């Protein structure tokens, strides 16, 4: 049995909305990851099964290693089909916002969602949700939005209607947001849910291979290159890797190729913070990714030094300037956070 994480009053409310809603739009965050796509498609399959007209809209493209997911071809990219997507949002009865906590995380779609007359539901697990929805289902202690989708569907009495396709999407989101169940994954109910998803016929080993073992040769060489260039700050128990646009083109970089790189320096003994600085190819800025182990709040560092945020152990932000300036900014952050980084425990 699962703990009833979502308030019953919210379940009742959502259930009533779903009774009436015909046109539903599901929106996830910019540069969608496995959880953004997995949770959106999981919910999409379920609502389709209930006979709704449902569309998933995301701000921009998602990585190739998620394109095997059932339903992924139906996802609308806002940067390509803006007018059509705007019409769907304006005409929707219900807009479901998945895996983000603030309108700026959907960038170009934000205005349309703000102006939509539809009922709005937020289903998310990031800290400090902004109040832009009629119902906010926000559970930072839950390790993925996909897990929340599973919990929501079950509470709506829909477990039997979860298909193998929906289960595959939900599992993918749960797996990717926990690094293959290697962090944020000690809640035993996660494994109860996985057991239920296996009962739906998913092949979890195959999903792992499709997500993590389908990269190009050049991606593996890029990983090797980035790691040889890595900078370690033993005094601060931190490490940094970086990637310029020039290096990206040397290794025929495509979107998603650096997925997971930021976690690798954490495999060094005593390193508790890893930072990845990547020159964005679309916008003139440096994308910053941070990961930590244990109690070090990398989201605080992201907020204070890179105008971002996120979770305790996984956060990110942006930097306007060159890679070298971003490195200098990181080093200032390390100096400030050194006492916390080197604290025992």
Sequence-distant (6+) residues with CB within 8 A of 281 are 245, 248, 253
- What's the order of all strands across the beta sheet hosting 135-138? 76-77, 53-58, 23-28, 94-98, 119-124, 135-138
Work out the angle between the directed axes of helices 145-155 and 188-199 (0-180°, nearest 10).
70
Q: Which does 274 bind (CB under 5 to 8 A by kind): ligand 5GP, Mn ion, none?
A: none
DSSP 75-134: PEETTTSHHHHHHHHHH-SEEEEES-SSGGGGGGGHHHHHH--SEEEEEE-SSS--S-SS
The answer to the question of residue 257 lying near Mn ion (CB under 5 A) is no
The answer to the question of residue 165 lying near Mn ion (CB under 5 A) is no
The answer to the question of residue 168 lying near Mn ion (CB under 5 A) is no
Considering beta carbons, is residue 49 or 179 the nearer one to Mn ion?
179
Q: Give the up-direction half-sphere exposure of residue 36: CA atoms within 13 A in the CB hemisphere.
A: 23
Q: How far is the CB of 144 from Mn ion (least distance, A)?
A: 5
Considering beta carbons, is residue 31 or 48 the nearer one to ligand 5GP?
31
Considering beta carbons, is residue 148 or 286 the nearer one to Mn ion?
148
Q: How far is the CB of 31 from ligand 5GP (least distance, A)?
A: 7
Q: How far is the CB of 209 from ligand 5GP (least distance, A)?
A: 21
Alpha-carbon torsion (115, 118, 119, 121), positive or negative: negative
Q: How far is the CB of 344 from ligand 5GP (least distance, A)?
A: 26
Q: What 3-state class would DSSP assign to 328?
A: helix
Q: How far apart are CA 142 and CA 239, in angstroms?
A: 28
Q: Which does 30 bind (CB under 5 to 8 A by kind): Mn ion, ligand 5GP, none?
A: none
The footprint of ligand 5GP (CB under 6 A) covers: 33, 126, 262, 289, 308-311, 314-318
Considering beta carbons, is residue 17 or 100 the nearer one to ligand 5GP?
100
Binding residue for Mn ion (CB under 5 A) from 32, 35, 62, 319?
35
How far CA 37 is from CA of 19, 130, 180, 300, in Å, comes to 25, 21, 16, 26
Binding residue for Mn ion (CB under 5 A) from 168, 177, 259, 279?
177
Tell me, residue by residue from 115 to 154, as one string, x for binding to Mn ion by CB under 5 A and - for no binding.
------------------------------x---------
Q: Which residues bind Mn ion (CB under 5 A)?
A: 35, 99, 145, 177
């Amino acid at each position: 049995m699962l703990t009833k994480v979502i308030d019953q009053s919210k379940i009742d409310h959502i259930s009533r909305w779903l009774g009436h809603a015909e046109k539903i739009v599901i929106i996830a965050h910019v540069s969608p990851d496995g959880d953004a796509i997995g949770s959106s498609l999981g919910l999409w399959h379920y609502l389709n099964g209930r006979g709704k007209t449902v569309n998933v809209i995301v701000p921009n493209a998602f990585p190739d290693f998620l394109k095997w997911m059932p339903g992924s071809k139906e996802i609308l990219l806002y940067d390509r089909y803006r007018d059509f997507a705007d019409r769907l949002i304006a005409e929707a009865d219900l807009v479901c916002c998945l895996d983000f906590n603030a309108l700026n995380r959907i960038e170009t779609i934000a205005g349309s969602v703000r102006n939509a007359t539809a009922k709005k539901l937020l289903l998310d697990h990031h800290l400090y949700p902004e109040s832009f929805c009629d119902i906010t289902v926000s559970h930072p202690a839950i390790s993925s939005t996909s897990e929340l989708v599973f919990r929501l569907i079950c509470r709506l009495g829909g477990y039997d209607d979860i298909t193998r396709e929906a289960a595959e999407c939900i599992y993918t989101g749960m797996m990717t947001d926990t690094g293959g169940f290697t962090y944020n994954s000690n809640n035993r109910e996660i494994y109860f849910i996985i057991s239920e998803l296996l009962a739906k016929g998913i092949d979890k080993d195959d999903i792992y291979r499709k997500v993590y073992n389908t990269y190009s040769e050049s991606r593996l060489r890029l990983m090797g290159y980035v790691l040889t260039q890595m900078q370690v700050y033993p005094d601060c128990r931190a490490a940094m890797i970086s990637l310029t646009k020039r290096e990206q083109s040397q290794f025929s970089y495509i979107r998603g190729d650096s997925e997971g790189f930021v976690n690798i320096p954490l495999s060094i003994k005593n390193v508790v913070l890893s930072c990845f600085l990547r020159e964005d190819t679309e916008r003139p800025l440096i994308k910053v990714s941070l990961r930590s182990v244990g109690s070090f709040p990398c989201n605080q560092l992201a907020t204070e030094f890179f105008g971002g945020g996120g979770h305790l152990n996984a956060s990110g932000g942006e930097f306007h300037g060159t890679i070298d300036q971003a490195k200098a900014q990181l080093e200032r952050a390390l100096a400030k956070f050194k006492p916390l980084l080197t604290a025992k425990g």
